[in-house]
Amino acid sequence: MSEAPTLDPTRRARLQQMYGSLSDHGMAPLWESLHSLVKPTPRSQTVPAKWDYARVVRPFLMECGDLITAKEAERRVLILENPALRGSASITRSLYAGLQLILPGEIAPAHRHVQSALRFIVEGKGAYTSVNGERTIMKPGDFVLTPNWRWHDHGNETSEPMVWLDGLDIPLVLFLDASFAERSTADTQPVQKPADDSRLQFGNNLFPVDWKPGDKNSPLINYPYERSCETLDAMRRKQPPDLVHGYKLRYVNPATGKSPMPTIGAFIQLLPAHFKSAGYRSTDGTVYAVVEGEGRTVIGEQTFTWGPKDIFVVPSWHWHTHEASEDAVIFSFSDRPVQEDLGFWREERADTSYPYDTRST
């Protein structure tokens, strides 16, 4: 589709003159920008990018640990900013990602906000997050929720640093001008529920008979890694990998079958050794965090090699393929549930053009 219409020089000059006055009155001519507003296909401002955990992110994070305490910072987090969206605390247009460090003996004080948060544990074992009075102990690969407006604080009573990936809907909430947040008077919430309460109450396919969900968020606050691995392994024993996704699972709210939080969808997938995926694109820009294994992802013309703990982002509607040189497990999150609820979400697969053979070397 063409951009602005081509007009003879006289009309063009008169129009240009009028545009100046229009703008003084808070108006603008639609025909000059129609096709960049109503685009025929998504053209994301977001660019593909990768963050190398061991070589780049971790050293900076540990330096932050020397320079500022978790309590002083309220949250000691390095934001992973998309190189094309600098200054906006965004890794995609709708989502935020950061790496949070809590050192032994530290706490991150209690607060709550409209923004929903997920944690995906990268390093360390045994620190806790408290969500509305329930503490959950975290270990690598666990997927932990802090849904909208729940009080939450974090603490590390172990002897090791604890690092996790934070995923929040900060840009989406800012876009909608709907942000509220408050600090608690107490830094640490009193423990009000038994250990593992939500998992025992809601994680066994049994709900209290009269329980009704209060909102769209999962009643579970921790989806432990061993359960994800068990499910991925069972899938692998049963069937060949999907040509695009390998073996891919979505985390669900057991009360609704939908995503654990309404604004962020989360996924975990296993790519068997030597798997090369078929091309794929979807409208949800997606953040990937590698748990285990090595491989590479080709996004358009760019190749990103990755290993454990690395993080990369695939923008909306960008063709990409994944290749694993050894068995690889990758976590990911996106705004897919928002787009699905609004009827926007689309995907496209190129299965036939990318044959693969898991036995080749």
Q: Which residue is nearest to ligand GTQ (CB)?
A: 166
98 lines the binding site for ligand GTQ (CB under 6 A): yes
Q: What is the 3-state secondary structure (H, E, C) of the chain?
A: CCCCCCCCHHHHHHHHHHHHHHHHCCCCCHHHCHHHHCCCCCCCCCCCEEECHHHHHHHHHHHHHHHCCHHHHCCCEEECCCCCCCCCCCCCCCCEEEEEEECCCCEEEEEEECCCEEEEEEECCCCEEEECCEEEECCCCCEEEECCCCCEEEECCCCCCEEEEEEECHHHHHHCCCCCEEECCCCCCCCCCCCCHHHHHHCCCCCCCCCCCCCCCCCCCEECHHHHHHHHHHHHHHCCCECCCEEEEECCCCCCCCCCCCCCEEEEEEECCCCECCEEEECCCEEEEEEECCEEEEECCEEEEECCCCEEEECCCCCEEEEECCCEEEEEEECHHHHHHHCCCCEEEEHHHCCCCCCCC
Nearer to ligand GTQ, 100 or 316 (CB): 100
279 neighbors 321 (Cβ within 8 angstroms):
yes
Q: Using CB under 6 A, which of 70, 117, 118, 338 touches ligand GTQ?
A: 117
75 lines the binding site for ligand GTQ (CB under 6 A): yes
Binding mask 35-74 for ligand GTQ (x = CB under 6 A): ----------------------------------------
Nearer to ligand GTQ, 75 or 193 (CB): 75
Nearer to ligand GTQ, 98 or 224 (CB): 98
Nearer to ligand GTQ, 98 or 155 (CB): 98
| Shortest Cβ 37–ligand GTQ spacing (Å) | 31
Q: Using CB under 6 A, which of 77, 91, 103, 270 touches ligand GTQ?
A: 77
Q: Using CB under 6 A, which of 142, 166, 310, 323 touches ligand GTQ?
A: 166
| Shortest Cβ 297–ligand GTQ spacing (Å) | 24
In whole angstroms, give the CA distance from residue 163 to residue 186: 24
Nearer to ligand GTQ, 109 or 295 (CB): 109
Count of chain residues binding ligand GTQ (CB under 6 A)? 9
Tokens encoding 149: 């407006």
| Shortest Cβ 360–ligand GTQ spacing (Å) | 41
Q: Using CB under 6 A, which of 85, 91, 138, 168 touches ligand GTQ?
A: 168
Nearer to ligand GTQ, 75 or 248 (CB): 75
Q: Using CB under 6 A, which of 152, 216, 309, 320 touches ligand GTQ?
A: 152
Nearer to ligand GTQ, 167 or 285 (CB): 167
Smallest CA-to-CA distance from 64 within 88, 99, 90, 96 is with 99
At residue 313, what is the residue type?
V
Q: Using CB under 6 A, which of 100, 136, 253, 321 touches ligand GTQ?
A: 100
Angle 146-51-56 from CA coordinates, rounded to 5°: 110
- For 356, other C-beta atoms within 10 Å of its C-beta total 17
Tokens encoding 44: 């994301």
Binding mask 249-288 for ligand GTQ (x = CB under 6 A): ----------------------------------------
110 lines the binding site for ligand GTQ (CB under 6 A): no
| Shortest Cβ 166–ligand GTQ spacing (Å) | 3
| Shortest Cβ 169–ligand GTQ spacing (Å) | 11
Task: Output phi, psi for 202, to 5 deg.
Answer: -125, -5
Nearer to ligand GTQ, 70 or 255 (CB): 70
| Shortest Cβ 174–ligand GTQ spacing (Å) | 12
Nearer to ligand GTQ, 151 or 356 (CB): 151
Interface residues with ligand GTQ (CB under 6 A) are 75, 77, 98, 100, 113, 117, 152, 166, 168
